[in-house]
Amino acid sequence: MKRLAILVLLISSILCLDENIQPDVLTYTYDALEPYIDTKTVTIHHDGHHQAYADNLSNALKSLRQAGQGDLIDSCAQVRDLLTRLDEVKDETLRKQIRNNGGGLINHNLFWKVMSGEGHSQPSKSMTEVLNKKFGSIEQFKDSFSQQAIKLFGSGWVFLIKNSKGDLSIESFPNQDNPFITDKSANKQPILGIDVWEHSYYLKYQNKRAAYVKEWWNVVDWVQVSSLYFDSTHSDEL
């Protein structure tokens, strides 16, 4: 019986959300996305902005536990799980902090994951077939996605999203929101995302967001995007 209790405790600790949050480590060097995204922007964006979202989320989770809602944290395996349950966070200030910083954390994890300087900027045959079936052609998909990114007012994100049936959609979100927050569900999974906050492009492109969006396609890693689409068992902590 004692062994069973220890085993349950160990499993619970593994499945519980870690309050010491860190952003995903880049799998490439800071200059790998040159000349499309400059080294200085990648460095500041990842080590500054992304790290700040992680630090602020860690502090918010610690405050949430101190406020007596540690059970909510313990019942979530990943950040996205907590984002789908924001209504259960009683304190409005903490709810906003978790929404903004939790969204910022996982949005950026996806952003870095689906970029590469390895030359994977063309989708595979199987991924091309999926995109063609939904959008008509790769060119039509890119145009629709780009137009949403260019026209999104203010700061935010545009995602290519796969639902639980495998259907695709292009959706835009303000600030650091994502479908986990707005749909209160994990049934819609972003598999590609572009950050159109000014900190993503201003050092190189200034106010020319359209130029940034156009060049960004050169560093999209379609191997990763395809993996996220076809592998139903992938980690959802993006």
Binding residues: 45, 108, 195, 199
Pairing verdict, β 156-163 and 168-174: antiparallel
DSSP state letter for 18: P
Tell me the backbone φ, ψ of residue 26, rounded to 5 degrees: -60, 140
Measured CA to CA, the distance from residue 39 to residue 34 in angstroms comes to: 7
Segments of the chain assigned E as strands: 156-163, 168-174, 188-195
Segments of 22-61 assigned E as strands: none
Measured CA to CA, the distance from residue 121 to residue 175 in angstroms comes to: 27
Residue with tokens 């902090």: 97
Measured CA to CA, the distance from residue 51 to residue 147 in angstroms comes to: 29
Q: Give binding residues for Mn(2+) as ranges.
A: 45, 108, 195, 199
Cα distances (Å, whole numbers) of residue 51 to 28, 46, 47, 63, 167 = 17, 6, 5, 19, 33
